[in-house]
Amino acid sequence: MAKTLTIIEARALCKSFGATRAVDMLDLSILQGEIFGLVGPDGAGKTTVLRMLATILNPTSGHATVTGFDSVKQAESIKAHLGYMSQQFSLYGDLSVLENLNFFADIFGIKNKVRKQRIDRLLDFSRMRPFGTRRAAQLSGGRQKKLALACTLIHEPKILLLDEPTTGVDPVSRREFWDILTELHIAGTTIVVSIPYMDEAERCSRVGLMYRGRLLVCDTPNRIRKMVDGELLALHPENPQRAATLLKGQPGIIEIQTYGDKLHIFVDAAVMRGPEIIAHLAQAGMNCVGPWLAQPRMEEAFISLIGKQAEMTIGG
């Protein structure tokens, strides 16, 4: 990566809500110009991390800096550089698209000619121009998200913190939304985004996997894909649950994951284990389609890492 300036840094960052450790000893460095993805199951702590970085929430212990400023003591200095889009609906439903943009311009003190120019540009950039007079509440889910992003961009922040910006958005709008993020990324904006859909993690320069408040891994998509041992065989058995039980513990089988009616089986050597798997299931009277060799995605790596962590938690 050409740019190596650290723009966001968290050290031993913790946040507790009563007995819940929402974020637990988070260490994180995000470089200027990255698209950094935060993934993890519900309740993993993604929103809490973003809210602390956005200076909305103070940590229980540890500290974070954003553009070199302390997130607690110098929060006001950070805000000018930061755009935060919350997970919840953050617009004024009764106001039109244009009125919402003007409202956010008011908040950031953007006036006159500059305001007009920026709103004009954001309407084009977010593909929202045809909907200028429509009330926010009457926009589709995808357009509401695009408007929320446009409002977040009104003061031209150099860092964007986006909390699940594509949740509940249809696949076409998701793609458009990511095209917009890519344009911002190319223009040099640093983007930290929590991600509900695994395929979106592929678009990030680095991805952090959170689980129960902890950052389990933090690396490039390429390296994360390689974190599971063995080769991956995909298989369509007649009865996936029973097939998984039959295959568990068989020689050379490292790990079995269920994806709907498919099994993803990590083995030590696919060429040898493929025919063995078919034979073993046939012996139990079960037919299957496959197996065929597949490329591990980040999803397999995440499920494997979370599975191991859960076992350790139960075991320990």
Residue 243 Cβ vs Mg ion, minimum distance, rounded to whole Å: 35
Interface pick for ligand ATP out of 2, 19, 42, 314 (rule CB under 6 A)? 42
Any contact of residue 47 with Mg ion (CB under 5 A)? yes
Binding mask 233-272 for ligand ATP (x = CB under 6 A): ----------------------------------------
Within 10 angstroms of residue 240's Cβ, the number of other Cβ atoms is 18
What is the Cα–Cα distance from 257 to 260, expressed in whole angstroms?
Answer: 10
Between strands 82-85 and 159-163, the pairing is parallel
- Specify the residue, 167 or 257, whose C-beta has the smaller distance to Mg ion: 167
Interface pick for ligand ATP out of 26, 37, 48, 247 (rule CB under 6 A)? 48
Binding mask 77-116 for ligand ATP (x = CB under 6 A): ----------x-----------------------------
For residue 59, the Cα-to-chain-centroid distance in whole angstroms is 21
Any contact of residue 55 with Mg ion (CB under 5 A)? no
Interface pick for ligand ATP out of 3, 11, 12, 17 (rule CB under 6 A)? 17
Q: What is the DSSP letter of 291?
A: E
What is the Cα–Cα distance from 168 to 161, expressed in whole angstroms?
Answer: 18
List the single partner that 42 binds among ligand ATP, Mg ion, none, CB under 5 to 8 Å by kind: ligand ATP
Number of H helices, E strands in the chain: 11, 14
H-only helix segments in 164-220: 171-186, 198-201
Q: Tokens 């400023």 identify what position?
A: 69
Interface pick for ligand ATP out of 7, 47, 105, 300 (rule CB under 6 A)? 47
Burial of 1 from C-beta contacts in 10 A (0-12 / 13-18 / 19+): exposed
Residue 44 Cβ vs ligand ATP, minimum distance, rounded to whole Å: 4
**Total length of the chain:** 316
Give the binding site for Mg ion (CB under 5 A): 46-47, 87
Q: Give the footprint of ligand ATP on this chain (CB under 6 A).
A: 17, 20, 22, 40, 42-48, 87
